[in-house]
A and B are shown apart, each in its own frame.
Chain A
Amino acid sequence: MALLDLDTATPTPIRSGVSMRGVSKSFGKTRVLDAVDIEIAPGEFLAIVGPSGCGKSTLLRLIAGLEDPDAGELRIGGRLMEDVSSRQRNVAMVFQHFALYPHLTVFRNLATPLELKKLPRAEIERRIHEAAELLDIAYLLNRKPRLMSGGQRQRVALARAMVRNPSLFLLDEPLSNLDAQHRAELRTEIAKLHQRLGATFVYVTHDPAEATILADRIAVLGDGIVQQIGTPEELRTQPANDFVAAFFGGPQAVRHVVGVAR
């Protein structure tokens, strides 16, 4: 895969779908995920939405390989992920708290994953400058994360994810630590990135509005199970149950549910 990337000027879209079948996960006695089935098509932008504590972050961490499922099977790009460590999955993750290496400059932050792949120096620099330009952070390359705003940091985190040409982007509430203005900017940036790279994006958020704007399809998670998967439009107009309606539907849907309940 790395060889392919070397020859092309723009990142080659390597798209991996994700398939989860009957995936369960418990922490102690708490069952966080209960036999979850999700199919994510290659190149799709899927948002996972749910109230806090519904297991949406756990789901993402399972895909990233940071946690192992207790039961069920997980495939990325058709390949079974049992016994495949995070490092070998070629996924990139963007964290809520940015998780940039505080002691390294932005340039070194971006270079780290590439150096670990043992890419040649020129290729590393080329990719970093390309990402920096795309995300408008070229002027930050020599700075350390400590001296940057939240918005700038999350741009850098996106760039760090992007330089590796991952087949799969995992984003864990990337905007929830930002102020309103940066949130709107970054949202646009993420949409642009998805369009341009064509990679598969899995995006966890607790904000239905954010999911509606960004995603092709949305999975609503609640009580450890998938309540409904569908396009934003479907979720809004045809919520499968009260949970989805209350969480997701517009005022109309809520009124509808309340009406039914009465």
Chain B
Amino acid sequence: MTLPYVLRLICLCAAAFFLVHAALGLLLRLAARPIIQFAHRMKPREATHFLLLVRFLPVAASSFVVLSICLPSYLWFESGATKENVGAGFVIAALLGALIWIASLLRVGRAVAAAGQLVRKWKESCTESKFPGVSPPVEILESDAPVLLLAGVLRPRLVLSSGVLRSLSPQQLHSALRHEEAHRASRDNFKRLLLLLSPEIFPFARSFDLMDEAWALFSEWAADDDASGSNPEQSLTLAESLVRVARMGAAPRPAPLCTSFIPPDQDLAARVNRLLLPSSFQSELWRRLRAIFAGTACTLLVLLTFVLSRPSALQSVHQLLERLSH
């Protein structure tokens, strides 16, 4: 197949992105369980940071390779006037690269539309109310369903049903709202959006479910910790409010960009037991890992500067890419 200059550049970027991303994504998928076990050795908030960082490694590394190596080497050494033949494998890799991004964008589009629809619907039927100790106003939904969640990405809103309002004591309600407030403060819905946006290994196939579920679990635990503030009395009150809301029945399944007080797929007993026996362990792991990640990033930047400063190195990269495309 013969492709003009610009189209060849686009295909090269998409194919390189797909190949690097698929290799790293498969590695990550294989190592998901040990990584999650390792995260269990950290504090929940640190575990969420760690998992998010690891989860974005494939997309970050592949974007880095495309933007810092493929693009400059092509622009520098490829002559603009020529039309060149490319191989079928190269075109397929480029198509797959484009498709994984299209699938991600579709997923995000659907999630944003569903969240927007939900917020609009609630705006019509909710009444705004202020609660002491909770900074943004809370939307009260007239319903007996056990609804207590944080909805929206840019300006997330706390939504509470009148049923929950009636069944919780003021202390329990306060701790439950502090839990959701902790989600808001750590921008968990925005992180959910980023997880949805991050491309899969292959188009339209969920590949990082384990990591995403683990992240969701740790984000709940971290919000529990923030809400209880390591105070055993407050931990117990939060545990009581969890059980009280669970007694109201199954909560409706929240939209993808909502954070529910009791997520339907998580083990409530484990969460309550954790609140009953709060641990006070201090881990240095995250600090060390941050240093390792920062060191690796600096090394990569130095390497990149070295490569870009030597045209012969970039030329070798270009020759390699040329071979790949044919």
Q: Do A and B come from one complex?
A: no
Point out residues on A near B: beta carbons under 8 Å. Answer: none
